[in-house]
Amino acid sequence: FHPGEIDVIFVLGGPGAGKGTQCQKLVDQYHFVHLSAGDLLRAEQKDPDSQYGELIADCIKEGIIVPQEITIALLRKAIVKNYNSTGKTRFLVDGFPRKMDQALSFEDQVAQSKFVLFFECPEDVMLERLLQRGKTSGRSDDNIESIKKRFRTFLETSMPVINYYEKKGKVVKVNCDRPVDEVFDHVVSHLEKEGI
Ligand code: UP5
Ligand code: MG
């Protein structure tokens, strides 16, 4: 693909804000491709042929960011694969970029984002959701120790990315502390305003 042929929307927000949930609904009702960086990393971690399995597992459990080269390569591969097999051009990139270096490299090497959907949610609400999900998710990071580390990384490392896009006037904020369908109505009305 050529950079101008695809639309990329970054979907950001704290751990448990509801990024995956809202992206899934957008896929069901609009022609988006949903690429969760976290899901791609978890799949890579499980691949016995991958040389990064252990590194990814450690980073996820500790709530720190996997080196950008790994994540960007996975995202690029997924974009190319989806574009070639379906011809779809609109991509929701969920949970990425969560560090400044990733944002700059991705926009330089893969594509510019059209805008950033930022899901705002109070920490106590996210904590409650993640602990609840942790009862059945099997995710190695859905426990109180990992969740606290994820919150810390979000504030220290990922918020600067959101602030960077905010200064460029590219951030669309949605309050996520509401029922799923209500959040979705707001997402859709914002997307329509952006001409999507
Ligand atoms: N839920 C959702 N919306 C709700 C609502 N409105 N009301 C009530 N409940 C709601 O939702 C979380 C839970 O809340 C679910 O049970 C849902 O039903 C409920 P979900 O939609 O899964 O939230 P999401 O924001 O996607 O939460 P997630 O846990 O996936 O966020 P993280 O950002 O922490 O996880 P991610 O998978 O993106 O990353 C995991 C790790 O991978 C990172 O910590 C990092 O170590 C690594 N990573 C990188 O290194 N680099 C990357 O670029 C990306 C990830
Ligand atoms: Mg998610």
Q: Which of 17, 4, 30 is nearest to 154 (CA)?
A: 17
The answer as to whether 171 is a domain residue is yes
The tokens of 103 are what? 């944002």
pLDDT at 2: 82
Q: What is the pTM of this model?
A: 0.98
The answer as to whether 39 is a domain residue is yes
Q: What's the chain's average pLDDT?
A: 97
The answer as to whether 112 is a domain residue is yes
Give me the domain span that covers residue 33: 3-191
CATH of the domain at 96: 3.40.50.300
175 Cα–ligand 1 center, Å:
15
Q: Which of 29, 31, 45, 37 is nearest to 13 (CA)?
A: 37
Report ipTM for this prediction: 0.99
Of 11, 28, 41, the one to substitute when testing ligand 1's pocket (max ligand atoms within 8 A of C-beta) is 41
Number of domains the chain contains: 1
The answer as to whether 196 is a domain residue is no
Q: Rounding to the nearest 10 degrees, give the CA dihedral for residues 39, 41, 46, 48.
A: 140
Q: Which of 26, 43, 12, 11 is nearest to 88 (CA)?
A: 26
Q: In degrees rounded to 5, what are phi and psi of residue 195?
A: 80, 25
